[in-house]
Structure 1
């Protein structure tokens, strides 16, 4: 006789851990399906994030360069082809193109605008950092002022002229100097300084070609820094003191070889280099010590000629090379020193590049940055 007893519900075996897990998953899936019915499960729009200091400064610099480029292109339409003004304006346009490329280009969000004309988020090129366009515009002061009332009419813009471009170049250069402490990345600061000096020299050249008045913005100086910049090594300071002093010595030699009527400017420049060498030596603590790297005389063999600086061509090339070397030094320092000391380095870069050009060096898009040439 079969003695097996039928199991009642009250005597059924208890579910194991695996049974309970399967039941929980099934209930969760059912809830998801039910909840999803009639409800959109789309992901929310990306949140707008704020740009960092480097991106804000980059956008501001690009905006200035674009303004210069557009004004120069417009001014070109109003001048005679092949004229000195046209050649200079065309060079401004070409340099602006190079500057924009080196800066990373004009920022484009890649997102569609919403109904109210805003975007939800943008992305900084090569940084991986989403940007808030409203915050960026506020920081860059690019937002147009609203008109007062519906009947307000915009006045038509005057066509850009060479004088307009000269002013924009000078303003852009001065703004770059004033905000040079903003970027965190020293390499970016070095690029800004080089572009600012290029714009300053472009403004000078265009003013001369077009008969427009130009004066260097008052913020620029030609003196050595008043305090010792941080982040410079003893080797940096030693090289700078010696280079400035050697430049002064070389220009004194050149002055002695020049005709009497041509000596004044060169003698003044030699004195400037000697003053810079003295100022740097005092700041570095070298002056009057055994570590002072200055010498009574310097070997000028590297400046060309046999003997050195024996003819006018060698003198011109040698003087230009000395100034160009100092320009590279100060451009490098702009990206090395602490942010508060960058502006004086830019001033010395501008001063050296201007002097190199006075000796025949060409106007370039990136003064002090030979790797960009």
Structure 2
């Protein structure tokens, strides 16, 4: 019998090169959000060099698009690198040249819709919270850029959300798999809305004219949402209901500056609570919570809040870089 020893003959078996790992669904969402952020930063930077991007009011927003998008990409972990060499002859992806500020606005709208869809669908709760915040920030930037240019605000909500009830009830946060918020988590939302309702009633008593009307409207809206969340948790009127008859408020509210600052604080607290609930809720059950984050962020801005890169995420960078 003849035995062929490959090693002795100097022969070796060729092993195939390592394969590029396929990203899972969570990594796809993270990578897509990073890619859109980098695309927005590049597009806004290019648009700033164009005549219509050099207008001071427009340039200010474009600078925030660049700064915020870069922070979004960084906080999401940056571009995925497998560590494997790129195949030779593989063309590298490039962002199409930006020809106008209007293109940046369109890209903001598209990226916002994508992130909103991903925030509701992704299985990872903390990533959903971060992506929801990014989507909210992009929406704010789109509105600001549209206002600066006099253009129409692009669609910011995916079609499947836009055609749904614009004011979904808290009970709709339960997913088909039954992965809903716990009663305690829903109670926390009832509490933060109730405190906001009380606070805005106090603010309304200290202000006059349109500001008083706005505060009364906000108070009624928060009281109504608090009732909805309490009913959804099954705690309305029970010993487990955390809501109180009154809440502490800062002194000096006779000064309109202090009163409006309280309005900002109340809405920001609601945004933070909704963002936290996004992380706690199951995939496919977050639409009402994400809408709450977006709505509270818009309302905080109406009371003078400065735009930040990560609405609802106080632990992350909250100061503009401009």
TM-score exceeds 0.5: yes
Distance 1:103 1:228 in 2: 25
Alignment check: 8 A CA contact 2:133 2:313 kept: yes
Matched, 1:243 2:189: no
In the alignment, which residue of structure 2 is the partner of 1:300?
A: 248
Task: Calculate the aligned-residue CA RMSD, in Å.
Answer: 2.7
Q: For residue 216 of structure 1, report the CA deviation from its aligned partner.
A: 5.2
The one-character-per-residue Cα deviations of 1:306-342 (angstroms, maximum 9, x if unpaired) are 4xx2221111111111111111111111111111112
Q: For residue 368 of structure 1, report the CA deviation from its aligned partner.
A: 0.9
Distance 1:355 1:115 in 2: 51
Matched, 1:225 2:174: no
- Structure 2 portions without partners, runs of 5+: 318-322
Structure with greater contact order relative to length (CA < 8 Å, sep ≥ 6): 2
Distance 2:145 2:98 in 1: 17
In the alignment, which residue of structure 2 is the partner of 1:208?
A: 147
- Structure 1 portions without partners, runs of 5+: 1-26, 120-141, 145-156
In the alignment, which residue of structure 1 is the partner of 2:320?
A: none
Distance 1:115 1:235 in 2: 55
Q: For residue 118 of structure 1, report the CA deviation from its aligned partner.
A: 8.7
Q: Say which one has the larger Rg.
A: 1
Alignment check: 8 A CA contact 1:71 1:161 kept: no
The one-character-per-residue Cα deviations of 1:85-140 (angstroms, maximum 9, x if unpaired) are 01110110011110111111123444444456399xxxxxxxxxxxxxxxxxxxxx
Q: Give the secondary-structure state (helix, strand or coil) at the position aligned to 1:341.
A: coil
Task: Identify if the C-alpha distance between structure 1 residues 53 and 199 changes in structure 2 by more than 3 Å, giving closer, same or farther.
Answer: same
Matched, 1:94 2:67: yes
Distance 2:308 2:42 in 1: 20
Distance 2:32 2:258 in 1: 42
- TM-score using structure 2 length: 0.84
Alignment check: 8 A CA contact 1:251 1:266 kept: yes
Task: Identify if the C-alpha distance between structure 1 residues 33 and 163 changes in structure 2 by more than 3 Å, giving closer, same or farther.
Answer: closer
2:202 equivalent among 232, 245, 253 = 253
Alignment check: 8 A CA contact 1:222 1:348 kept: no
Alignment check: 8 A CA contact 1:162 1:212 kept: no
1:60 equivalent among 24, 32, 36 = 32
Matched, 1:325 2:264: no
Matched, 1:72 2:72: no
The one-character-per-residue Cα deviations of 1:129-166 (angstroms, maximum 9, x if unpaired) are xxxxxxxxxxxxx9x9xxxxxxxxxxxx7743222222
Distance 1:293 1:215 in 2: 40
Task: Identify if the C-alpha distance between structure 1 residues 262 and 368 changes in structure 2 by more than 3 Å, giving closer, same or farther.
Answer: closer
Distance 2:27 2:150 in 1: 37
Alignment check: 8 A CA contact 2:21 2:82 kept: no
- List, as ranges, runs of 4+ consecutive aligned residues in structure 1 with deviation greater than 6 Å: none
Distance 1:68 1:191 in 2: 17
Task: Identify if the C-alpha distance between structure 1 residues 108 and 168 changes in structure 2 by more than 3 Å, giving closer, same or farther.
Answer: same
Alignment check: 8 A CA contact 1:72 1:160 kept: no
2:298 equivalent among 354, 365, 373 = 354
Task: Identify if the C-alpha distance between structure 1 residues 239 and 110 changes in structure 2 by more than 3 Å, giving closer, same or farther.
Answer: closer
- TM-score using structure 1 length: 0.74
Distance 2:224 2:117 in 1: 25
